[in-house]
């Protein structure tokens, strides 16, 4: 089944779908597994496994710290692929590599694509890779059934949104506001208008991220988007009180299943 059809099928029983995020090796791979078990219990549909990088330019302070600590603890790209292999073998949600292009460049496109496929990955999110430089990687990915996820941001012109839509696959990651991850986003009419603008250029499902942290955000995305993308808020909950806090966090989101 193609990625778009997979998402459409998921939406028959739940709206919105949910994508979450963990930073590999932070605070430890053991903790990552506990986080993922809870996310799985709450029926998440996608998880981004972030491969730590020294300059995570799209990330806010908490994820920057998590990247740095993970690297200081010795986490390697090989460790992250090994962990992805464990995760995809154990859980039903789809797993994306999230990271920065330097990681892919150092490995080489063909090796990266092969390792991601071998680890059971669905695709990847590389926020710092311009589409003008992504042709070879995208072609190799398509040949192996992997999905590169494009980001649409409020600063994109209509021309740029059209260019992004032309190469997008699976779903589109709609960045709800300017800036980096981490701070609260007011899910306002302005965000709704931007989502409408994105829909003019693509019929792919729209994931909404950056600042999703409360039930009202989920309700907003149910009305205006397709996938709620939850990152920093879940890590904040874990840092506040481990497993119990993370369960409480997901419980208060009120994610609806109706299948």
The domains located in the chain, with CATH, are 3-248 (3.20.20.70)
∠ at Cα 51 (49, 65), nearest 5°? Answer: 100
**59 assigned to active site:** yes
Residues of the chain with pLDDT under 70: 1-4, 58, 177-187, 256-259
Q: Bridge-partner residues for 152, per DSSP? A: 174
In DSSP terms, 98 is beta-bridged to 50, 125
Per DSSP (E only), the strands in the chain are: 14-15, 17-23, 46-50, 94-98, 123-125, 147-148, 150-152, 172-175, 206-209, 227-229, 256-257
Name the β-bridge partners of 17.
227
Q: What is the pLDDT of residue 3?
A: 60
Q: Write down the catalytic residue from 35, 48, 217, 226.
A: 48
Active site residue 48: yes
- Identify the pLDDT of residue 257: 52
The Cα–Cα gap between 174 and 136 comes to 24
Its pTM stands at 0.92
Name the active-site residue from 35, 59, 217, 226: 59
Q: Provide the residue count of the chain.
A: 259
Q: What is the DSSP secondary structure assignment for residue 131, as one 8-state letter? A: G
């Amino acid at each position: 089944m193609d990625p778009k059809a997979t998402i459409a099928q998921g939406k028959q029983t739940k709206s919105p779908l949910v994508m979450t995020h963990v930073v590999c090796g932070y605070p430890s791979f053991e903790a990552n597994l506990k986080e993922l078990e809870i996310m799985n219990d709450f029926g998440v549909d996608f998880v981004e496994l972030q491969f730590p990088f020294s300059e995570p330019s799209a990330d806010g302070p908490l994820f920057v710290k998590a990247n740095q600590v993970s690297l200081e603890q010795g986490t390697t790209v090989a460790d992250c692929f090994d962990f992805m292999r464990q995760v995809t073998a154990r859980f039903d949600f789809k797993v994306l590599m999230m990271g920065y292009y330097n990681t892919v460049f150092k490995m080489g496109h063909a090796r990266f694509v092969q390792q991601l496929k071998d680890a059971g990955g669905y695709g990847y999110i590389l926020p710092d890779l311009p589409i003008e430089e992504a042709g070879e990687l995208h072609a190799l990915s398509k040949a192996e059934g992997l999905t590169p996820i494009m980001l649409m941001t409020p600063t994109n012109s209509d021309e740029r949104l059209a260019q992004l839509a032309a190469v997008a696959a699976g779903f589109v990651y709609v960045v709800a506001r300017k800036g980096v991850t981490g701070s609260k986003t007011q899910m306002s009419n302005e965000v709704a208008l931007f989502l409408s603008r994105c829909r003019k250029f693509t019929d792919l499902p729209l994931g909404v991220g950056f600042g999703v942290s409360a039930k009202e955000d989920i309700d907003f995305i149910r009305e205006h988007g397709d996938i709620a993308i939850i990152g920093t808020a879940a890590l904040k909950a874990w840092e506040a009180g481990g497993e119990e806090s993370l369960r409480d966090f997901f419980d208060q989101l009120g994610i609806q299943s109706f299948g």
